[in-house]
Amino acid sequence: MLLFCPTCGNLLTVEEGSRCYRFACPTCPYIYNITSKISSKTYPKLKAVDDVLGGAAAWENVDSTEETCPKCEHPRAYFMQIQTRSADEPMTIFYKCCDALCGHRWRE
């Protein structure tokens, strides 16, 4: 929590006084003794994250291949190829396990 001096507008600092902590202005003689616990919690709102691969609809019409799932050992996986880097780099292959209970995703 940031507090500002009501006299000059500078940021108040916390310092230890003779009997308690206090807010003090570094440029003017303003002092405010802290008599109770001061706390404030603010949770930022998270942005909605877009699915880079196009969400669940991107996996609707893809082919499957013989690729073993590293999580459940299922022998088949859906796959799609996407150019994620520059044109002179190879395409990235994304896999999704064909087992409906697993659905693990990985890339190569």
Does residue 5 have a known ligand-binding role? yes
Does residue 97 have a known ligand-binding role? yes
Does residue 28 have a known ligand-binding role? yes
Quote the CA–CA distance of 100 and 97 in Å, as a whole number: 8
What is the DSSP annotation of 23-67?
Answer: EE-SSSS-EEE--S-------PPPPPPPPTT-SGGGGTT-EEEE-
Does residue 98 have a known ligand-binding role? no
Does residue 20 have a known ligand-binding role? no
Does residue 69 have a known ligand-binding role? yes
Annotated binding site: 5, 8, 25, 28, 69, 72, 97, 102
Please state the residue numbers annotated as binding site for Zn(2+): 5, 8, 25, 28, 69, 72, 97, 102
